[in-house]
């Protein structure tokens, strides 16, 4: 697809052309949408198998836990994400377990994901100002094509991500709401509520789109009482549908943790097994009004960590802002010039398509504001990205309705620029060493581990919970050191110790083996760190009973290995290896570690109280590894640690340099002031002395 696509779809609307029949319209629509679907699947074929960290960290495990009761065997097996509603991931997991070729599985998922293009087409037709089939075809074709040119959408087509699947439900709800605003009918309203309620039950971030959708209903050409009644139907239908879908999992969470939304909303339900501090991921949320207002233009840049972790530049939001400004100025100019002829018209007297377009624009603006305040994550904005494509196309057609050539040039330039961004500025997770090799996952588990159930204590921010389905039936997993870390005390410790006692003596540790070709050396280098984690539970590693679990087709790693003759050889391995060793009781007490931990806790508590905007949520568990105490703050992706009486922090996600706050004993002194914040996208914090200087 190139810039000529825009010109072709635009020329369909040119006056004087040969009309098309309804049958021709349907055939043309089918041909265009199938062509766009083919392009999306072709991109997926070139991109290769999706083996993102989220897929391995919790997507596979979520589908597994949806079909198997894991509450009695696992505990935070995939970190906090282990307790999200898992049912939306069950189809992906079921397809992977068939051992069909990964390309077949991905293509089947991709066909479902491309339904979002079909709905984008229909939404554009809904705001078309004429019944002329050629013009409708132009609106729909251009909007669907522009919706496809969404970098995040192209990254997710055919992948394990549920964002795109639930986005289709949300966009379907908005399509029904737009239809109800154009031609009032409570049936559409009720079904819209059902779709958005189900989307929210599967993924709570869709609640933003459900709330913003009420703005569309406000534009219906009916009395206010009828509008209020429609809003009531909408919310009742959404709440009931969402409750039905969420109830089975919510019941399990409430039965096990006392919180039906665990670990979310824990400030309300106050489960002792998770923080009661607000959970708000600041990774993509603007820190100032200036950042927020400039965000549509920032998204244009091919930069990391703007609307997602990868580079995903998108021109459409900036173009939409500019078109909105032009539309407002044009309307003001026309109102001033023709003031004597115009009169204020009621909403019910407005052109239906224009009324729906304005309603969509207003709802989009509300959705954007709530989304930017709540997450700013482009993966959660996929339905609105398609709405943005519809709005851009509709506004270009309306603003340049009298200048068809200029319209064609404008659309061609937009498509060309967006294509250039995709080609040269977007990360598609392409890996030259990971193509489509056999099934999605190919796991080689030693016979002993495939037959005897064990409790695996996993270590690492990447929980590697995708291995759970391939272990012996009845095996359990606990990610004791990762996104959430804990020791033997408190509610987390009690639950962990209960599982340890239940599985004992069949206990093992599991972590990624970075050097399978030099396992003794790797184990020697990681032994002390692993024992420091296990010592919290009175355990230590037994290196006489170790095995490797091999996962083929995972992203390759290049390693420089020194050979016997002293030369350095580059070693390529086509599989990841995960070391698992037996764990036995009898760890030393390590009173020194506990003493250092208590001292470090004072410094950590101090910086959390003095700088709550940086170090949140407060009071996470302090890990003591190798004499270094550290705390992880998931809201801001910050890791802070104390070593040699100096407290430092940095964000491993943003790549910020290590920032030194000062001496830990000075930080703990509450008579000194701590100054902190964020400047030019980077966090900072330092002590301020009595004279006011750092």
| 164-192: pLDDT as tens digits | 999 999 999 999 999 999 888 899 999 99
Q: Retrieve residue 629's tokens.
A: 């105490």
What's the sign of the alpha-carbon dihedral 611, 613, 616, 617? positive
The predicted pLDDT at position 143 comes to: 97
Indicate the pLDDT class of residue 50, thresholds 50, 70 and 90. confident
**How many helices and strands (H and E) does the chain possess?**
25, 14
Per-residue pLDDT averaged across 156-167, rounded? 95
* Rounded Cα–Cα distance for residues 133 and 22 (Å): 7
Cα-based distances in Å from 67 to 136, 440, 463, 639: 44, 19, 20, 35
| Residue 77 scores a pLDDT above 70 | yes
Say whether the peptide bond before residue 263 is cis (omega within 30 degrees of 0).
Answer: yes
Per-residue pLDDT averaged across 135-149, rounded? 95
What's the sign of the alpha-carbon dihedral 525, 530, 535, 541? negative
Q: Are residues 624 and 668 in the same domain?
A: yes
* Rounded Cα–Cα distance for residues 681 and 285 (Å): 11
The predicted pLDDT at position 19 comes to: 63
Cα-based distances in Å from 542 to 358, 508, 523, 536, 546: 67, 9, 11, 16, 8
Residue 330 inside a domain? The answer is yes
Indicate the pLDDT class of residue 693, thresholds 50, 70 and 90. very low
Q: Retrieve residue 611's tokens.
A: 């700088």
Percent of all residues in the chain with a pLDDT value above 90, rounded to a whole number:
67
Residue 81 inside a domain? The answer is no
CA angle, 596 then 602 then 603, to 5°: 95
The predicted pLDDT at position 347 comes to: 45
Q: Are residues 167 and 234 in the same domain?
A: yes
457-482 residues labelled b (16+ CB within 10 A) or e (exposed): bbbbbbbbbbbbbbbeeebbbbbbbb
| Residue 504 scores a pLDDT above 60 | yes
Written as one string, the DSSP assignment of 545-597 is: EEEEEEEEEEEEEEEEEE-TTS-EEEEEEEEEEEEEEEEEE-----HHHHHHH
What's the sign of the alpha-carbon dihedral 343, 347, 350, 356? positive
The predicted pLDDT at position 330 comes to: 82
Q: Retrieve residue 624's tokens.
A: 């003591």
Q: Are residues 193 and 234 in the same domain?
A: yes
Using CB atoms within 10 Å of the CB of residue 62, give its burial: 0 to 12 exposed, 13 to 18 middle, 19+ buried. buried
| Residue 564 scores a pLDDT above 60 | no
The predicted pLDDT at position 14 comes to: 57
Q: Retrieve residue 463's tokens.
A: 């929980």
| Residue 692 scores a pLDDT above 80 | no
Per-residue pLDDT averaged across 612-616, rounded? 93
Say whether the peptide bond before residue 551 is cis (omega within 30 degrees of 0).
Answer: no
Q: Are residues 448 and 412 in the same domain?
A: no
229: number of Cβ within 10 Å? 14
* H-state helical runs in 183-223: 186-202, 207-212, 214-217
- 402 vs 680 pLDDT, higher one: 402
Question: Where among 553, 588, 623 does a domain terminate?
Answer: 588
Residue 306 inside a domain? The answer is yes
Q: Are residues 113 and 248 in the same domain?
A: yes
Indicate the pLDDT class of residue 591, thresholds 50, 70 and 90. low
The predicted pLDDT at position 17 comes to: 45
Indicate the pLDDT class of residue 586, thresholds 50, 70 and 90. confident
Residue 361 inside a domain? The answer is yes
Q: Are residues 376 and 297 in the same domain?
A: yes
Per-residue pLDDT averaged across 306-320, rounded? 95
Question: Where among 391, 425, 459 does a domain terminate?
Answer: 425
Q: Are residues 615 and 672 in the same domain?
A: yes
Per-residue pLDDT averaged across 4-16, rounded? 55
The answer to whether 29 and 165 are in contact (CB under 8 A) is: no
The predicted pLDDT at position 675 comes to: 87
The predicted pLDDT at position 224 comes to: 87
Q: Are residues 159 and 287 in the same domain?
A: yes
* Rounded Cα–Cα distance for residues 264 and 262 (Å): 5
Question: Where among 524, 553, 588 does a domain terminate?
Answer: 588
The predicted pLDDT at position 537 comes to: 92
Where is average pLDDT lowest: 473-482, 545-554, 673-682? 673-682
Q: Report residue 642: phi and psi, to 5°.
A: -120, 125
Where is average pLDDT lowest: 134-138, 216-220, 340-344, 669-673? 340-344
The predicted pLDDT at position 13 comes to: 55
Residue 149 inside a domain? The answer is yes
The predicted pLDDT at position 10 comes to: 56
Residue 504 inside a domain? The answer is yes
| Residue 458 scores a pLDDT above 80 | yes
Per-residue pLDDT averaged across 127-151, rounded? 94
| Residue 348 scores a pLDDT above 60 | no
Cα-based distances in Å from 505 to 78, 294, 500, 586: 23, 58, 8, 12
Say whether the peptide bond before residue 288 is cis (omega within 30 degrees of 0).
Answer: no
Residue 201 inside a domain? The answer is yes
Q: How many domains does the chain have?
A: 3
- Pair type for strands 638-643 and 628-633: antiparallel
* Nearest CA-CA partner of 314 in 392, 396, 430: 392
Taking only the tens place, the pLDDT of each residue in 655-665 is: 778 989 988 88
Per-residue pLDDT averaged across 79-106, rounded? 96
Bridge partners, 75 (sequence order): 478
Domain that holds residue 676: 594-688
The predicted pLDDT at position 187 comes to: 93
Q: Are residues 470 and 605 in the same domain?
A: no
Average pLDDT, the chain: 88
Q: Are residues 247 and 304 in the same domain?
A: yes
Cα-based distances in Å from 628 to 525, 547, 549, 596, 652: 16, 29, 30, 8, 17
The predicted pLDDT at position 126 comes to: 94
Residue 11 inside a domain? The answer is yes
Q: Are residues 476 and 578 in the same domain?
A: yes
The set of residues, in sequence order, having a beta carbon less than 8 Å from that of 556 and lying 6+ positions away, is: 431, 433, 434, 572, 573, 574
Specify the residue for token string 């021109």.
315
| Residue 199 scores a pLDDT above 80 | yes
CA atoms within 13 A on the CB side of 412: 12
The answer to whether 552 and 575 are in contact (CB under 8 A) is: yes
The predicted pLDDT at position 4 comes to: 52
Taking only the tens place, the pLDDT of each residue in 223-264 is: 888 889 999 999 999 999 999 999 999 999 999 999 999 999
Q: Are residues 393 and 513 in the same domain?
A: no
* Rounded Cα–Cα distance for residues 579 and 589 (Å): 25
Per-residue pLDDT averaged across 188-205, rounded? 97
Where is average pLDDT lowest: 345-354, 528-537, 641-650, 667-676? 345-354
């Amino acid at each position: 697809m190139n810039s000529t696509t825009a010109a072709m779809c635009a020329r369909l609307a040119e006056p004087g052309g040969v009309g098309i029949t309804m049958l021709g319209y349907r055939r043309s629509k089918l041909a265009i949408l199938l062509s766009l679907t083919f392009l999306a699947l072709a991109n997926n074929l070139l991109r290769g198998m999706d083996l993102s960290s989220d897929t391995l960290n919790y997507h596979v495990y979520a589908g597994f836990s949806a079909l198997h009761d894991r509450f009695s065997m696992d505990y935070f097996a995939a970190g906090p994400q282990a307790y999200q509603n898992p049912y939306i991931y069950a189809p992906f997991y079921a397809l992977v377990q068939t051992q069909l070729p990964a390309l077949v599985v991905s293509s089947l998922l991709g066909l479902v994901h491309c339904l979002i293009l079909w709905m984008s087409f229909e939404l554009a037709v809904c705001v078309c100002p004429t019944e002329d089939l050629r013009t409708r075809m132009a609106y729909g074709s251009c909007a669907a094509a522009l919706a496809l040119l969404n970098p995040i959408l192209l990254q997710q087509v055919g992948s394990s991500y549920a964002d795109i699947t639930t986005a289709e439900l949300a966009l379907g709800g908005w399509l029904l709401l737009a239809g109800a605003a154009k031609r009032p009918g409570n049936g559409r309203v009720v079904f819209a509520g059902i779709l958005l309620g189900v989307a929210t039950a599967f993924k709570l971030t869709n609640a933003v789109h459900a709330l913003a959708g009420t703005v569309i209903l406000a534009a219906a050409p009916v009395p206010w009482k009828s509008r209020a009644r429609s809003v009531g139907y909408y919310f009742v239908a959404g709440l009931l549908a969402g409750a039905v879908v969420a109830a089975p999992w919510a019941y399990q969470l409430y039965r096990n943790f006392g919180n039906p939304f665990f670990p979310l909303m824990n400030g309300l339900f106050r489960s002792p097994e998770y923080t009661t501090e607000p959970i708000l991921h600041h990774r993509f949320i603007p820190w100032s009004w200036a950042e927020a207002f400039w965000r549509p233009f920032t998204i244009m840049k091919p930069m990391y960590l703007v609307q997602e972790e990868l580079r995903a530049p998108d021109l459409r939001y900036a173009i939409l802002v500019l078109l909105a400004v032009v539309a407002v100025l044009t309307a003001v100019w026309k109102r001033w010039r023709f003031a004597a002829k115009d009169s204020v018209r009621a909403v019910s007297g407005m052109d239906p398509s224009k009324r729906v377009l304005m309603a969509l624009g207003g709802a989009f603006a509300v959705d954007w504001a709530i989304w930017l305040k709540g997450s700013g994550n482009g993966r959660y904005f996929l339905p609105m990205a398609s709405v943005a494509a519809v709005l851009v196309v509709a506004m270009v057609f309306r603003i340049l309705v009298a200048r068809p050539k200029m319209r064609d040039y404008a659309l061609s330039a937009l498509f060309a620029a967006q294509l250039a961004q995709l080609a040269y500025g977007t990360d598609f997770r392409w890996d030259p060493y990971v193509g489509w090799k056999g099934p999605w996952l190919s796991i080689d588990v030693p016979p002993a581990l495939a037959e005897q159930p064990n409790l695996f204590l996993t270590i690492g921010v990447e929980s590697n919970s995708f291995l759970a389905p391939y272990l012996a039936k009845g095996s359990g997993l606990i990610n004791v050191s990762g996104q959430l870390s804990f020791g033997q005390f408190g509610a987390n410790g009690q639950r962990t110790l209960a599982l340890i006692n239940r599985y004992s003596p069949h206990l093992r540790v599991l972590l990624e083996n970075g050097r399978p070709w030099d396992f003794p050396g790797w184990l020697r280098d990681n032994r002390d760190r692993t024992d420091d984690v296990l010592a919290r539970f009175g355990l230590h590693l037994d290196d006489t009973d170790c095995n490797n679990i091999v996962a083929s087709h995972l992203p390759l790693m290049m390693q420089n290995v020194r050979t016997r003759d002293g030369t350095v050889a580059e070693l390529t391995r086509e599989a990841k290896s995960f070391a698992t060793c037996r764990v036995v009781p009898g760890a030393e007490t390590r009173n020194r570690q506990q003493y250092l931990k208590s001292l470090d806790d004072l410094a950590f508590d101090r910086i959390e109280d003095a700088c709550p905007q940086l170090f949140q949520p407060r009071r996470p568990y302090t890990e003591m590894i190798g004499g270094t105490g550290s705390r992880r703050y998931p809201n801001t992706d910050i890791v802070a640690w104390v070593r040699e009486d100096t407290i430092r922090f940095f964000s491993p996600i943003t790549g910020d340099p290590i920032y030194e706050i000062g001496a830990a004993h000075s930080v703990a002194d509450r008579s000194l002031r701590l100054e902190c914040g964020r400047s030019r996208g980077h966090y900072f914090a330092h002590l301020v002395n009595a004279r006011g200087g750092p």
